[in-house]
Structure 1
Amino acid sequence: MSNIFKHFYHKCFPVYISALLILSSVVLSSCYCPRDMIKNISHCAFHIHCYGDIRGVQLPNECREATNDPVTVDVTVTNAIESFDDTTDLDFLNTITSLKLSGRWQETKLNILMYTSRLQHLNLVNNGIETILDDPFYYLNHLEVLNLSYNKLKDIEDLFQFQKHPNNLRKLFLAFNAIEFVPGYAFEELSSLVELDLSHNLISDLTEEPFCNLTKLEILRLNDNKIKDLNGAVNSLQYLKHLYLRGNQIQNIDEESLKTIKHLETFDVSKNELEQVKPIMLSRHWDHFTNHSICKIILSGNLITSVPNASSIEVSSRFSRNLDKHNVHLYTELDLSLNSISNIEYNAFQSLIQLISLDLSRNKVIDFNVDGNDLANIKYLNLSNNYISRLYYGTFSSMTNLQNLDLSNNQLNFIPDMTFNSNYNFKVVNMTHNVIEKLDSIHLTFHPEGGVLDLSNNGLYKLNIPYGEGLRLITLMLHSNNISDLSLVDLSHHTELQTLDLSNNLIGELDPSCLKLPEATLVYLDLSCNKIQYIAPSTFSRLRHLKTLRLSHNYLTNFEYGTFAGLTDLLHLDLAYNRIRYLNSKYLMDLKYLHVLSVRSNDMNALDLSSWYGHRFDLRVYVDNNNLTCEWLGKVLRDFNNGYTKVKPTVLVAAGKGPHTLEGIPCIVDESEPLMDKYGHETADERLLITSQKILEAVREQNYYFRKFVSQAIHKEVDKD
């Protein structure tokens, strides 16, 4: 046997792998499907990755002959050649059930498909295909999913021809192509189609009604095209549930153009040119919906200026539905954001069935005064980025299920006492970026699991939450306001508050009398980015359960005994970006459980850690951007590495190796101090130099005594003479 033959014999000879796959030895050329890319998923289920061509692969006999187990073969071919020659194993091709071909074919006949009659899923995504010749899908009688997205197809006129009628194709994806026109008979044979994606093309005309034969279609994606009018093109789709028309040029939607609109679970006509909301857009039929269906009506990003009252026909339809003994639980989500709505009629939402989400953000709404009974089931209400200056009790009185309320970026300057008296399930209330300067009460009750109130960016300088109000408030955000006197923020009765953010205010000093905070529950307090220069002893003494205290970005220079008294549970203390040149650990002796201390960016010259030598937990001290010496750093690192202490200096971002870093921590080298290695020890050269200096000093000392001895001996001899 020649060496060449031996080479190919050993390389391509059939071998059983873990899945009992056999690599064919018929083809005397390099294998296209490497053995390590052939995976056995389960009995008679395989995943195979090939390059260029599909050659040299066979299935075990028990998976090729009659079997009670289904045979699934998933093949991916990278850099696939456009055609396959006579050496391709046709028997193996006939076993493939899922095929993905990746190549670059401007024009193709897809000849391989002639031999893949069992194919169920075909993926031809992103191959640069402009033209598909002949009828390559004709014999694919089992094909269920065909993906031709991200190509350059223009003409699909006679593309989808099949031998079997009706065929099994259920999903067809043609997104991101260059299709401008869809002929009336383009999908004539695809009567079993359930999902069709034509999004991101150049379609503008649907006058030939190309979908009329798709009687089982449930999902149709036409978003991001150039459609101006539906022209009744989808009126025959009685089972259509999801219609996506986002990003077109549609100016009008009425019942003539879209008779199936009442059947739709998802109706997305956002980013078009609609100027009116017609009642037909909001009403829904219930015969075709399953229990607990959610209808999503998305009208955002249009040119709508007004939301009119529901028509009497639609209202009566809603009430007749409520009396239906076969009533199903149907919910509605309505998105009207990013329009120019300035007027909302009182009964605008009367035709909607169990509205649970309403988004009116980024409009021009001045007054939101609607019938609260139509919003009785609402859970999410977004009114942000409008011009609302007043809230109405009648609007919110029936919203007993409301959980998320966004009123940010409006013109509110107060909250009327009775507005939210009927709401007991708030999880998040966002009132940021308004003009509220003071609040003497907050009539809000939060969800049994707790809630969040955000009042940041308001100009607020005074806040009082009396006893019995703000029940179950867990997190309060007050950052970026005008709070200078912390005593005007009274939260002492709020016994469930856990997180309080007071950052970015004007607070200058802290003392025990100004902190009117809950003692038993607060675990997180953020006072960063203020103007704090002084903290009196015992200021935090009552916050015995506090875990995190942030004091970064202030003007602190030093501390006193008792500054942090009472913080026996504190885990994290942030003192970064202050003006602390020297910090003595004796002022932090009360912090018995401290795990993390940050003193970053303080221009610190010295940090005394002697009082923490008996600390019971590992304490990370972040020392970035300071002026600490290598001598100090080396000593502390030695003590930590030798187990003498649990205090470890560190940085957020380690510096590269260099003469002025120890364990990735930058430090300042004093010329008078010995050079350290990365473990904080003197380098060998430095130790040798020191030893030499000591020897010389000893020699000089001995010489001194020797000269002194000789001098004394000479004097004695002179005296004898």
Structure 2
Amino acid sequence: MCHAVYQILFWLWMLLYSGSRVSCLQMSNCNKTEVTMIRGMELLTSLTLSNCSLPHLENAFFMRFGHLLHLELQHSGLSSLEDFSLHSLPRLQSLSFAHNSLSKLRSWSSEPLEALVSLDLSHNRLSSLDAHSFVLYPQLQMLDLGSNQINQIADDTFYGLSHLKHLQLNGNRMMLIDGSQFHGLHRLSSLMLQHNLIEGVDPGAFESNTHLRSLRLDGNLLNCLQFLTQSGLARLVHLNLANNLLRKLEPQGFVTNVELQDLDLSRNNFTELTKESLVGLDSLERLNISHNILSHIEDGSLESLASLLQVDASFNQLTSVSESLFHANTQLEEIILSHNRIRDISPKLMQYQTHLRHLKLDGNALIEASFLQRLPPALNRLSLIVDLSSNRLQSVNLNSLLHFGHINLADNHWSCAWLVKNLLLRAPPSLNFARNWSLLSDWSEDLTKVQGIDCIEDARNRSIVLLSIGEVIHSKVQCAKSFDELNPAPPPLTWPKIPTDRFDSRSVIIWMLVAIAITFACLRWLRRFVDRKEQSKRKLKAINEVVS
């Protein structure tokens, strides 16, 4: 019954569609018969089919869709296409078979699809790529093969793709990048190889990719970076090597990557940075070396990074930082040293940082913050955000912290006596000492959100809860009645005199009626006066007519 109703609604929709002559069509939960029965298909330029039942496509399946520019067939269980299923689509520009079950890659056309510039085959079951797989797509610029099961790529797989700019092979099972897999892709701009099983990269793997600007190799098993010394990566701008097995950086390993701006080395096994580690990165703006096991950063390691804007060395094992570490990095806007073991910060560390906007030192072992008083005068403190939470501060000079954008001081080892003495006056909004708690109050069974400050008194942990009692009582407690209905209080001995005004509402009404009566009388007299004037004019006119 439901199927019959659905068929009727579908044919009614098809009738309406054939009259409206639309150029874009989206269908879901359809089958092969419904697709082949679309009327006006020769006028369509965009067709999207999702969650349909289309496991197999025959030859020339889209024969009557000759004007298609965009074709998407996703989440439809597609597992196979015959050799010429895409025949007669000469104008097709983008094609997506993503989120299906394809296990074999073919050209699927008897003639080149010379207008095709984007092909998406991600989230399928492809396991290997044969030579000349894309030879019939000579104008292809974007190819997405991500999230498949690819573990083997033939040498000439991408033969003929001289215009390819973006290639995605992420989320596969590749183990080795050899020297010929990407040969001939002279215009390749971005290459995504993250989340594979890559253990090694041949030194000449990217030798012909002289226009490569973005390379992602994060989430692999790399332990060596010798391939970076090749001239093919001289124009690289973004490089992501996070989450690998790297232990050290070879001296002058980046000397050829003169245009690199973003370098992500996080989540590896680096133990130190030396003076030679980052030599050659004159254009580097963002360096991420967080989540390693760094215990030492050699003085001068960042000296060559004159353009550096952001450095992230959080979640390491640093116990100290050289006072001249950032002296050459005068453009720094963000310094992140969170979650290390730093006990002391030299007042000279940031004496040249006039552009600093964010300073994150939370999760360390700092016992004082006097370095904030030695920041350069040219630095705009009102735009600076500092995070000193989760350290071991016992007290700070509040007067020196009043002109910052925001300073987070929560969760430190404050002295209770110092807190009581210095927080009698309300702290400015730019200083945050407290952390949020959930408190079960006596006024209500609900959990009341409050703020509190932990402190230490006589080697014992204390907590100061910050409450505005007036606001809590006003919001949580209903005021009691101020009198007893059964025994009301006696009236006062002398009642206060209530001033009265003789010009009461009755007088107002009387005067209004008088004014109305006078107004009508005046109008009536005016009417009579006009009538008399008219009669006089008529009499005078009649006399003149008789005389003449």
* TM-score band w.r.t. shorter chain: 0.7 to 0.9
Aligned mate of 1:356, from 252, 258, 261: 261
Rate the CA distance shift 1:399–1:341 in 2: closer, same or farther, 3 A.
Answer: same
Q: What amino acid sits opposite 2:340 in the alignment? A: N
1:52 is paired with a residue of what secondary structure? helix
Q: What amino acid sits opposite 1:419 in the alignment? A: L
Alpha-carbon separation, structure 1, partners of 2:100 and 2:136: 23
Q: Where does residue 404 of structure 1 map in the other structure?
A: 310
Q: Where does residue 227 of structure 1 map in the other structure?
A: 150
TM-score by length of 2: 0.74
Q: Where does residue 138 of structure 2 map in the other structure?
A: 215
Rate the CA distance shift 1:144–1:265 in 2: closer, same or farther, 3 A.
Answer: same
Q: Per-residue displacement from partner, 1:310-339 (whole Å, max 9, x unpaired)?
A: 54x628x94xxxxxxxxxxx5510000010
Q: Where does residue 714 of structure 1 map in the other structure?
A: none
- 1:175-254 correspondence runs (5 A): 175-185=98-108, 188-207=111-130, 209-231=132-154, 232-254=156-178
Alpha-carbon separation, structure 1, partners of 2:166 and 2:327: 39
Q: Where does residue 421 of structure 2 map in the other structure?
A: 535
Residues 161 and 189, structure 1, Cα contact 8 Å, conserved in 2:
no
Matched, 1:667 2:542: no
Q: Per-residue displacement from partner, 1:581-607 (whole Å, max 9, x unpaired)?
A: xxxxxxxxxxxxxxxxxx9986x9xx4
Higher RCO, Cα 8 Å, sep 6+: 2
Matched, 1:431 2:388: no
Matched, 1:173 2:96: yes
TM-superposed CA distance for 1:548, in Å, is 6.1
Q: Where does residue 422 of structure 1 map in the other structure?
A: 328
Q: Where does residue 92 of structure 1 map in the other structure?
A: 19
Alpha-carbon separation, structure 2, partners of 1:226 and 1:248: 5
Q: Where does residue 530 of structure 2 map in the other structure?
A: none
TM-superposed CA distance for 1:472, in Å, is 4.4
Residues 226 and 248, structure 1, Cα contact 8 Å, conserved in 2:
yes
Q: Where does residue 516 of structure 2 map in the other structure?
A: none
Rate the CA distance shift 1:548–1:503 in 2: closer, same or farther, 3 A.
Answer: closer
Q: Where does residue 71 of structure 2 map in the other structure?
A: 146
1:146 is paired with a residue of what secondary structure? strand
Q: Where does residue 297 of structure 1 map in the other structure?
A: 215
Alpha-carbon separation, structure 1, partners of 2:93 and 2:376: 57
Alpha-carbon separation, structure 1, partners of 2:177 and 2:266: 22
Rate the CA distance shift 1:314–1:457 in 2: closer, same or farther, 3 A.
Answer: same
Q: What amino acid sits opposite 2:217 in the alignment? A: L
Percent identical across equivalent pairs? 22
Q: Where does residue 255 of structure 1 map in the other structure?
A: 179
Q: Where does residue 662 of structure 1 map in the other structure?
A: none
Aligned mate of 2:199, from 244, 267, 275: 275
Q: What amino acid sits opposite 2:223 in the alignment? A: T
| Aligned Cα root-mean-square deviation (Å) | 3.6
Rate the CA distance shift 1:693–1:224 in 2: closer, same or farther, 3 A.
Answer: same
Q: What amino acid sits opposite 1:500 in the alignment? A: I
Q: What amino acid sits opposite 1:300 in the alignment? A: D
- 1:323-472 correspondence runs (5 A): 332-369=237-274, 370=276, 372-444=278-350, 450-465=356-371, 467-469=374-376, 471-472=379-380
421-430 or 127-136, larger mean C-alpha shift:
127-136
TM-superposed CA distance for 1:216, in Å, is 0.5
Q: Where does residue 103 of structure 1 map in the other structure?
A: 29
2:176 is paired with a residue of what secondary structure? coil
Q: Per-residue displacement from partner, 1:215-240 (whole Å, max 9, x unpaired)?
A: 10011000111111211311321111
Residues 156 and 182, structure 1, Cα contact 8 Å, conserved in 2:
no
Alpha-carbon separation, structure 2, partners of 1:371 and 1:353: 14
Matched, 1:155 2:155: no
Alpha-carbon separation, structure 1, partners of 2:136 and 2:59: 23
Residues 550 and 575, structure 1, Cα contact 8 Å, conserved in 2:
no
Asked which structure has the greater CA Rg, the reply is 2
TM-superposed CA distance for 1:160, in Å, is 3.3
Alpha-carbon separation, structure 1, partners of 2:358 and 2:8: 55
Q: What amino acid sits opposite 2:224 in the alignment? A: S
Alpha-carbon separation, structure 1, partners of 2:144 and 2:62: 23
Matched, 1:52 2:9: yes
Alpha-carbon separation, structure 2, partners of 1:372 and 1:208: 39
Rate the CA distance shift 1:553–1:145 in 2: closer, same or farther, 3 A.
Answer: closer
TM-score by length of 1: 0.57
Q: What amino acid sits opposite 2:451 in the alignment? A: A
Q: Where does structure 1 lack aligned partners over 5 or more consecutive residues?
A: 1-30, 33-49, 56-76, 78-83, 319-329, 512-531, 555-573, 580-598, 609-620, 629-648, 651-665, 675-681, 699-721
Q: Where does residue 129 of structure 1 map in the other structure?
A: 54
Q: Per-residue displacement from partner, 1:627-670 (whole Å, max 9, x unpaired)?
A: x4xxxxxxxxxxxxxxxxxxxx44xxxxxxxxxxxxxxx4378x
Alpha-carbon separation, structure 2, partners of 1:448 and 1:403: 12
Q: What amino acid sits opposite 1:112 in the alignment? A: M
247-256 or 388-397, larger mean C-alpha shift:
388-397
Alpha-carbon separation, structure 1, partners of 2:313 and 2:301: 14
Alpha-carbon separation, structure 2, partners of 1:693 and 1:496: 60
Rate the CA distance shift 1:236–1:350 in 2: closer, same or farther, 3 A.
Answer: farther
TM-superposed CA distance for 1:258, in Å, is 1.6
Residues 309 and 349, structure 1, Cα contact 8 Å, conserved in 2:
no
Rate the CA distance shift 1:490–1:99 in 2: closer, same or farther, 3 A.
Answer: same
Residues 108 and 132, structure 1, Cα contact 8 Å, conserved in 2:
no
Q: Where does residue 115 of structure 1 map in the other structure?
A: 40
Q: Per-residue displacement from partner, 1:89-108 (whole Å, max 9, x unpaired)?
A: 68536x22101112243x44
Q: Where does structure 2 lack aligned partners over 5 or more consecutive residues?
A: 438-448, 455-463, 492-548
Q: Per-residue displacement from partner, 1:352-377 (whole Å, max 9, x unpaired)?
A: 25000000000001123335442111
TM-superposed CA distance for 1:252, in Å, is 1.5
Residues 181 and 205, structure 2, Cα contact 8 Å, conserved in 1:
no
Rate the CA distance shift 1:214–1:448 in 2: closer, same or farther, 3 A.
Answer: farther
